[in-house]
Amino acid sequence: MKTSSGLKCLFLFSLLLIASALVAQPGIHMLQSGKPVSFRGLSVVSDKIIWASGSSGTVVRSVDGGANWEWITVPGYEKRDFRDIEAFDADTAVIMGIAEPAVILKTVDGGKNWEKVFEDHAKGVFLDAMAFTPGSGLGIAIGDPLEGTNTPYQVITHDNGSTWKKVSMGKTTLQEGEAFFASSGSNLVMIGNHPIIVSGGRSSRILFADWSPLPIVQGGESTGANSVAVYRARYGIVVGGDFAKDTISTDNCVLFDIGDHAKLTIRKPKSDPHGYRSSVVYLSRKKLLTCGTSGVDLSGDGGDSWTLLSKEGFHVCQKAKKGKAVFLAGGNGKIARLEGTF
């Protein structure tokens, strides 16, 4: 009797342990930090393959889920800031250097060799972000208007970034003092073959079929939308704020629905993330993660309300394109993984 009830107890206790492990509180697990590199580009191919890019010509890669990282300084580009990266597998990735010259490089051997696939020395050229349509080869990089123009700068690839061509955005114009932020490579996202782009500065708007104003902080050089994400081409979110006042937690997030004929229905959430946020990602329809220099927030209700998860600052967060893993990267060489149940 005694033994069997003891066993029962042990059994129940083990069940409890397993259950509590299954609902482990989400948290940030730091994997790398302490190097003088600011990461703003992040591309998570799968739960195992992660690439990030940043300042001082730096690219890092892990092929074992973040246990080990290979640090690469791209030869000849030691002073460049690679603000965005798109990785296709463990060997293939494209990185974007922002300004004068704007440059895009591609590797097909895991970062050992980099080929220059695009370069523009035009005065005032400034690339902000790249986005690709999965599997199709189509990718777009956007940039701020060149001096003396008011149309966004755009280059397009149809072969996963091996060749690029400048393509005019036609009649699409930006307002005086409106531009794009290059804070996380995510102010551009593809819906099929069409980009959604968000702007900031003196005014902050979203461009799909047409421009729509965003109810987000704007009016100054450090204000506006920084990142846009969509879920199944139906639900969307924009985050941003004022990076010069990064703890203000009002008007730094906007939700939208994508209806028929590319019609966007835009609204404010019930509450905002706890500060300026430069990157946002859907973990599922209802769960979202957002990060910025003043911390990391989680939402469990589609972005309508937010819980501060950490005051650790990050520039960019991404979920595995094929998988469940979620990573963050930021200043001071920081790379982290989201752990627990989310």
Ligand X SMILES: *[C@@H]1O[C@H](CO)[C@@H](O)[C@H](O)[C@H]1NC(C)=O
Question: Which residues are near ligand X by CB under 6 A?
Answer: 88, 135, 137, 159-160
Q: For 9, phi and psi rounded to 5 degrees?
A: -60, -50
Toward ligand X, which CB reaches closer, 77 or 118? 118
What letter does residue 220 receive in the DSSP assignment?
A: S
236 Cβ contact partners less than 8 Å away, ≥ 6 residues apart: 196, 228, 229, 230, 255, 256, 257, 258, 264
* Minimum gap (Å) between residue 253 Cβ and ligand X: 30
Report residue 46: phi and psi, to 5°: -150, 180
Is 325 within 8 Å of 319 (Cβ atoms)?
yes
In the complex, minimum distance from the CB of residue 161 to ligand X, in angstroms, rounded to a whole number: 9
Ordered DSSP codes for 95-122: EEE-BSSEEEEEESSTTS--EEEEEE--
Q: Which of 191, 192, 210, 188 is nearest to 200 (CA)?
A: 188
Q: In the structure encoding, which two tokens stand for residue 168, read together?
A: 């005019």
In terms of CB distance, is 137 or 331 closer to ligand X? 137
Residue 36 or 134: the one with the smaller Cβ distance to ligand X is 134
Nearest one of 31, 36, 10, 24 to 333, comparing CA atoms: 36
Q: With H, G, I as helix, E, B as strand and everything else as coil, classify residue 22.
A: helix
Residue 39 or 132: which CB sits closer to ligand X?
132
Minimum gap (Å) between residue 246 Cβ and ligand X: 34
Q: Which is nearer to ligand X, 41 or 200 (CB)?
A: 41
Q: Quick one: 43 or 310, whose CB is closer to ligand X?
A: 43
Q: How far is the CB of 341 from ligand X (least distance, A)?
A: 29
Give the shortest CB-42-to-ligand X separation in angstroms.
Answer: 16
Across the beta sheet with 316-319, the strand order is: 27-32, 335-339, 326-329, 316-319
Shortest Cβ distance from residue 158 to ligand X (Å)?
Answer: 7
Which of 106, 274 has the CB closer to ligand X?
A: 106
Amino acid letter, residue 141: A
Return the number of the residue (137 or 300) whose C-beta is nearest ligand X: 137
**Which phi and psi angles does 23 have, rounded to 5°?**
-110, 30
How would you classify residue 83: left for phi > 0, otherwise alpha for psi between -120 and 50, otherwise beta?
A: alpha
Q: What minimum distance in Å lies between the beta carbon of 104 and ligand X?
A: 15
- Tell me the C-alpha distance between 95 and 56, whole Å: 13
Q: Shortest Cβ distance from residue 135 to ligand X (Å)?
A: 5
Q: Distance of CA 265 to CAs 49, 53, 237, 252, Å?
A: 36, 34, 11, 17
Cβ nearer to ligand X, comparing 162 with 271: 162
Of all residues in this chain, which one has the CB nearest to ligand X in the complex?
137
- Contact of 125 with 79, CB cutoff 8 Å: no
Closest separation in Å from C-beta 241 to ligand X: 32
